[in-house]
């Protein structure tokens, strides 16, 4: 492929690796050619891509028992991902559909906030299929298949979490650009970076934490400010996207996060 489908930021670990970029574009091109509703295309991953997955898998699964919430660990064990090869999102799609009705739709890269939220409102999760740069397997500045399958998919198979995610998406209907930005921020602080207190200990339920070895350890070991989740305050709080989060919001349960967001959105729509 001669022309990159998706431009990378200059600080992306694979920015100067033309072979990696060509392969990333090849997989992104498969997603661009996919018609929604048709069978999800399967990718034949290379040995290097499978080794990258294996390193990510090994690192994260060493932390999940102590750092991930109990609901995540339960579903993750049922997904039974292979430790040494990249799973296919077509298989995970079938698992999620059976559990909560959420479906996966392959995409070529980042999706705009309004479009992404609209898909969530219909229980469709936009998922990349390419994998992060092999020389930095424990870090990625963008969503990749490790982030989607290690972070998002297990949580979207939990009914309460699926409902929370869809509720945020539904609130985007007829929303102004400012409201879309606030909803995207709520999504960030819950679905991506939410934490829950279990038996006095903080555990991750957000996909951004669950798919990042370094940040998962960093965030739950006293390195960041922890606030009690307040949707009105959180929706107006800025956050970095290329570094560890300085502030996280905790809840006592995923159901509590759902109820707080439901009340906030109902008030905002009045």
State the helix-helix crossing angle for 70-79 and 89-100, rounded to 10 degrees. 130
Taking only the tens place, the pLDDT of each residue in 103-136 is 999 999 989 999 999 999 999 999 999 999 999 9
| pLDDT at position 267 | 64
Tokens of 52: 């990258």
> Which listed residue (12, 119, 152, 212) is catalytic?
152
> CA angle at residue 71 from 42 to 60, to 5 degrees?
60
Return the number of other C-beta atoms located less than 10 Å from residue 241's C-beta. 10
- Point out the catalytic residue in the list 147, 148, 212, 219: 147
* Section 86-92 average pLDDT: 98
pLDDT tens, 163-191?
A: 989 989 999 999 999 999 999 999 999 99
Q: Is 211 a catalytic residue?
A: yes
What's the pLDDT tens digit per position in 199-232? Answer: 999 999 999 999 999 899 999 888 899 999 999 9
Supply the mean pLDDT for the chain.
92
Q: What is the pTM of this model?
A: 0.92
Q: What is the pLDDT of residue 220?
A: 87
Q: What is the pLDDT of residue 20?
A: 96
Per-residue confidence at 6, pLDDT binned at 50, 70, 90?
A: low
34 among known catalytic residues: no
Please give the full DSSP string across 35-72, using - where no structure is assigned: PTTSPPPPP---HHHHHHHHHHHHHHHTTHHHHB-HHH
Tokens of 213: 């070895």
Residue 43 has pLDDT above 80, yes or no: yes
Domains and CATH numbers, the chain: 35-268 (1.10.800.10)
- Residue 3: pLDDT band (50, 70, 90) is very low
Q: Is 192 a catalytic residue?
A: yes
Q: Does 173 qualify as catalytic in the annotation?
A: no
């Amino acid at each position: 492929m001669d022309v990159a489908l998706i431009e990378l930021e200059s600080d992306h670990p694979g920015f100067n690796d033309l072979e990696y970029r060509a392969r990333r574009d090849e997989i992104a091109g498969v997603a661009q050619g996919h018609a929604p509703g048709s069978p999800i295309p399967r990718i034949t991953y290379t040995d290097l891509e499978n080794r990258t997955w294996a390193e990510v898998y090994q690192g994260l699964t060493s932390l999940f028992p102590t750092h991930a919430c109990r609901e995540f660990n339960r579903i993750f064990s049922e997904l039974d991902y292979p430790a040494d090869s990249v799973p296919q999102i077509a298989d995970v799609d079938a698992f999620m559909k059976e559990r909560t009705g959420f479906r996966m739709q392959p995409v070529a890269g980042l999706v705009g906030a309004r479009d992404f939220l609209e898909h969530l409102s219909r229980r469709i999760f936009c998922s990349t299929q390419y994998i992060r740069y092999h020389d930095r397997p424990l870090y990625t500045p963008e969503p990749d298949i490790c982030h989607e399958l290690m972070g998002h998919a297990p949580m979207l198979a939990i009914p309460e979490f699926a409902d929370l995610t869809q509720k945020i998406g539904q609130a985007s209907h007829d929303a102004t650009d400012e409201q879309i930005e606030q909803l995207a921020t709520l999504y960030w602080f819950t679905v991506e970076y939410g934490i829950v207190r279990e038996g006095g200990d903080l555990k991750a339920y957000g996909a951004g934490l669950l798919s990042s070895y370094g940040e998962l350890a960093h965030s739950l070991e006293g390195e960041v400010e922890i606030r009690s989740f307040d949707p009105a305050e959180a929706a107006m709080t800025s956050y970095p996207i290329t570094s560890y989060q300085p502030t996280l919001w905790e809840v006592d349960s995923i159901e509590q996060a759902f109820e707080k967001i439901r009340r906030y959105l109902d008030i905002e729509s009045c």
